[in-house]
C-alpha cells in the first residue's frame, strides 16, 4: 500500500478546505463550491488507478470475469 | 527545490494581486490629498496651473503623483495643449502604470474638463465634486480590499501547495 498517496490526498483535502473557507468568507460561495469540486476531482484522478485495481481484484476474487 | 520554487512563486503572485487592492485605496486617498492641495493653490494663492501641478506633484508620493507631474510637464513644454487634455494624458499615464477601474478613470477625466478654463468658484465646485466621487470610490475600494486581499494571499499559497502536492 502506497502510504504517500494517503498523505498527498490528506494535504489536498486540507488545502481545499482552506480554499473553501476563504472563498466563502469573501462572499464568493459559487467559487468555493467550484474549488471544492476541483479538489475532489484532483483527489479522484489520483486514486482512479487504485480504484480500477480494486475493482479488478474484486472481480477476480468472485470469479466474475 | 522545484517544489519550493513553485510554492514561493504562487505565494508571491497571490500577494502581488492582493497588494493591488491596497495600492488602489492608497492611490485614491493620495489623489484626494492632491485635490485638497490643488484647491488651496487655486483659492488662496491663485498659482498658475502648471506651477501648481508641479508643486503638488513634488509633495505627493508614489504612483499618485504621475497625473500631476505629467500634466504639469505637458503644460510647460507643449504649447497649445489645454489643461483638460494635459490632465487626461496624465490620467492615461497613471492608468498605464496601475490598472485603475473605468469608473475611477472617468472621475479623473471628468475632473480635468473643468480644470483651468472656468472661474475660480466653478473650479472649486469641480474639485469638491471630484473629491467626493473619489471618496466614494475609495470606500468601495476599501471594502473590496477587506474582502479580497487576504483571499488572494491565501489562494496563492494554497494553489502553490496543491500544485506541489500533485506533482510530488
pLDDT of res. A1 = 63
Q: b or e along A6-38 (b: 16 or more beta carbons within 10 Å of the residue's beta carbon)? A: eebbebbeebbebbbebbbebebeebbeebbee
Residue B55 pLDDT grade (very low, low, confident, very high; cuts 50, 70, 90): confident
Asked if the model's pLDDT at residue B100 lies above 70, the reply is yes
Contact A22 B158 (CB under 8 A): yes
The pLDDT of A15-35, averaged and rounded, is 89
Inform me whether the pLDDT recorded for A65 exceeds 70: no
CA angle (A31 as vertex; A27, A35 as ends), nearest 5: 125
Residue range B150-158: mean pLDDT, rounded = 87
- Cα dihedral B131, B133, B134, B138, rounded to 10, equals 140
Fill in the DSSP letter of residue B61.
-
Domain spans, chain B: 2-167
Nearest to A8 among B147, B150, B165 (CB): B165
Mean pLDDT score, B107-125? 79
User: What's the pTM?
Assistant: 0.75
What is the domain partition of chain A in residue ranges?
3-61
What pLDDT score was predicted for residue A63?
A: 83
Contact A8 B168 (CB under 8 A): yes
Amino acid at each position: 500500500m502506497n502510504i504517500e498517496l494517503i498523505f498527498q490526498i490528506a494535504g489536498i483535502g486540507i488545502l481545499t478546505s482552506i480554499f473553501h473557507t476563504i472563498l466563502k468568507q469573501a462572499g464568493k460561495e459559487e467559487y468555493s463550491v467550484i474549488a471544492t469540486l476541483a479538489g475532489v476531482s484532483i483527489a479522484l484522478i489520483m486514486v482512479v488507478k487504485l480504484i480500477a485495481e480494486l475493482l479488478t481484484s474484486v472481480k477476480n476474487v468472485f470469479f466474475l470475469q | 527545490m522545484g517544489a519550493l520554487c513553485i510554492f514561493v512563486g504562487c505565494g508571491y503572485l497571490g500577494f502581488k494581486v492582493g497588494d493591488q487592492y491596497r495600492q488602489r485605496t492608497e492611490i485614491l486617498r493620495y489623489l484626494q490629498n492632491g485635490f485638497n492641495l490643488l484647491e488651496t493653490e487655486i483659492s488662496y494663492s491663485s498659482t498658475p496651473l502648471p506651477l501648481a501641478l508641479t508643486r503638488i506633484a513634488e509633495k505627493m508620493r508614489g504612483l499618485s503623483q504621475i497625473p500631476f507631474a505629467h500634466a504639469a510637464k505637458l503644460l510647460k513644454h507643449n504649447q497649445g495643449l489645454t489643461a483638460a487634455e494635459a490632465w487626461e494624458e496624465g490620467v492615461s499615464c497613471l492608468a498605464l502604470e496601475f490598472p485603475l477601474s473605468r469608473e475611477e478613470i472617468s472621475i479623473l477625466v471628468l475632473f480635468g474638463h473643468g480644470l483651468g478654463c472656468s472661474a475660480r468658484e466653478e473650479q472649486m465646485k469641480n474639485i469638491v465634486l471630484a473629491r467626493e466621487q473619489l471618496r466614494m470610490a475609495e470606500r468601495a475600494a476599501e471594502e473590496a480590499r477587506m474582502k479580497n486581499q487576504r483571499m488572494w494571499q491565501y489562494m496563492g499559497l494554497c494553489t502553490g501547495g496543491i500544485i506541489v502536492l500533485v506533482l510530488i
